[in-house]
Structure 1
Amino acid sequence: MPKSFHKTIQVTQDDLDDLNHVNNVRYVQWIQDIAKEHWREKAPKELLEQSIWVVKSHFIEYKRAAVLDDIIDIKTYIKESKGALSIRMVEMHDQKTKQLLLKSKTEWVLLDSQSNRPIRVSDDIIAIFK
């Protein structure tokens, strides 16, 4: 199993939709946020300056709703990388009940920060997340 990155958040009023559940758009934001935080924490400065990630696709499976004041444990890891593509998984669990709230699979494409052209995910980058 690859190394995972974790964070915990508490649901606030601003996270809620008209049904008083966490808004789907907020979940997508959290998925993107943890991916960026993981990359910035693990990647050396040189890589951060030379490359950027963009989303190709999101697949999100919603299991349960989170509500105001819930504490959510978020975990992410890289499932696989091939060519310029990296598959990142994210899981969100209710901290109190341990129930799965959401599972996502995002395809990220690595770009050269100067040309904005896709570049291969190097063995050095893969090693950072193993």
Structure 2
Amino acid sequence: MDDVQIIFAGRKAHIFNERFRRGDAVMHRLTPGGIAQFDRVYGAAFVQNGESVVELAGRAGVVPTDRLFSPPPRPTGWAHSRAQLAALLLAFTLGAAVVVLLAVSTDPSHRAQAAGLDCDAPAVEAPTNHRSEVTA
């Protein structure tokens, strides 16, 4: 094994350890061009067989540090607020569209009578049960 390769791998492991700590989130690709998978750093990077490697929490064995990178940052601040505002406006727009569609599709000449009452019929006086004479 070449001494230069071991020194270079040691430097890569040192740089990795400065950038990532145990428990930090990382993304890794098992094959070049493959789908990146989320994982966490399980321990410090070290040199094994002339290559800088590290253990991950979700994988058995070691993974070369060359295949690891930081996950994309989550939206914060203004970008997060804009996403929430866009979701709120979309919900409002869809709700308004549903109300308009219901209003357009309802035929006003066919009103449903609630509990058999006709609101357009003239009022009828209800019979009274008052007795005018008091019985002894």
Fold-level similarity (TM above 0.5): no
Greater fraction of residues in strand = 1
When Rg is computed on C-alpha atoms for both structures, the one with the higher figure is: 2
Give the TM bin, normalised by the shorter chain. Answer: under 0.3
Q: So what's the TM-score if we normalise by structure 1?
A: 0.25
Structure with greater contact order relative to length (CA < 8 Å, sep ≥ 6): 1
User: TM-score, normalized by length of structure 2?
Assistant: 0.24
